[in-house]
Structure formats: C-alpha cells, structure tokens
Structure 1
Amino acid sequence: MLAAVVAILLLGREYRYQPMGELRVSKSGNRLSAQWLSEEGELESEQPVKADYVGPWLIGLHVGPQRLWLWPDSLPAHSQRSLRRLCHRPGR
C-alpha cells in the first residue's frame, strides 16, 4: 500500500512539472539541440537532445535533464516525420 501511495505521488509530481509549449529541435552537424517555446511566446535556453529510442509509434528523447516520450498524437504527422529524420542515425 505504501509503495502505491509513493508511486501515485511521484506520478502526480511528474504530471505537474510537464513542460508546456512547443519544442523546437535543431541539428548542427551530429549534435541535436532544442529550445522550448512557451505558451507566452518566450524562447527558453538551448538544451542538448539525445534520442535514445526511435520506434514505429514512439520516440524517446532526453532534453537536458528531462525525459520525454512522444506518441503519434503528441505532434502533427509532418512534424513527427521531420523529427524522425533528425534523430535517424544511418546504418540503424
């Protein structure tokens, strides 16, 4: 019971601190970086991005210290294809 309460509290904290706005990802050479565009239109500082999972339905990203999972309904289809192209490593 205690483990369930702790899990619920941790999930609630994660939900509260979810980033809001639009993630702008760019590639320079082999390096991916991203900036959050807040709902107020302010661009936050640039952070490194590491794509550690690019599957058929799910993309796993580390944006700075944050872990993000992008599902197909998280972004429009053309944006998802663009992100997959940025994260694709030739030979894999």
Structure 2
Amino acid sequence: MLIAGAAALLLRREYRQQPTGALVVSKSDHQISAQWLSQSGELGNEQPVNADYIGPWLIGLYIGPQRLWLWPDSLPSQSQRALRRLCHRPGR
C-alpha cells in the first residue's frame, strides 16, 4: 500500500511538471531547437531537439533533457509532416 501511494505521488508530480502550451521548433544549419510558447504568449528558453524515433505514427523527441512523444492526434497533420521533414536525416 505504501509503495502504491509513493508511486501515485511520483506520477502526479511528473504529470504536473509537464510543459503546457505550444512547441515552436526551428532549424538553423543542421541544429534543431525548440521553445515552449505559453498560453500567455511568452517564449521559454531555447533548447536543443534530438529526434531519436520517427515511426509511421509516432515521433520521439528529446527537448533538452525532457522526453516527448508526439502521437498523430498531438498536432495537425500539416504540422506533423513539417516536423517529420525537419527531423528527417537523408540516408536513414
């Protein structure tokens, strides 16, 4: 019971620490970076982006130290295609 309670508290903390708002991704030369755009319109700190998984339905990103999974319903299809083009490395 104690372990389940501790696990629930950890999950709640992780859930509350998730960023909210829109992710703004940009590319300069070969480096992809991103910033969180808050609901009030303020941009957060710029962080490097590493795409380590680009599957047919799922995109796995590291934004700074944080792991982010993007599902098909996470963003409009046009934005998802643009992100896939940004993260695609020729020859892979």
Q: TM-score, normalised by structure 1?
A: 0.90
> Structure 1 segments of 4 or more deviating over 3 A?
1-7
Give the Cα–Cα distance (whole angstroms) in 1 for the partners of residues 7 and 54 of structure 2: 27
Give the Cα–Cα distance (whole angstroms) in 2 for the partners of residues 13 and 87 of structure 1: 30
Hey, what does 1:19 align to over in structure 2? Answer: 19
Give the Cα–Cα distance (whole angstroms) in 1 for the partners of residues 91 and 19 of structure 2: 32
- Give structure 1 stretches of 5+ with no counterpart: none
Hey, what does 2:66 align to over in structure 1? Answer: 66
Task: Tell me the matched-pair count.
Answer: 92
Q: CA deviation at 1:48?
A: 0.5
Aligned ranges 1:8-87 → 2 under 5 Å: 8-87=8-87
Give the Cα–Cα distance (whole angstroms) in 1 for the partners of residues 4 and 42 of structure 2: 38
Letter of the aligned partner of 1:14 in structure 2? E
Q: TM-score, normalised by structure 2?
A: 0.90
Name the Cα RMSD after superposition: 1.3
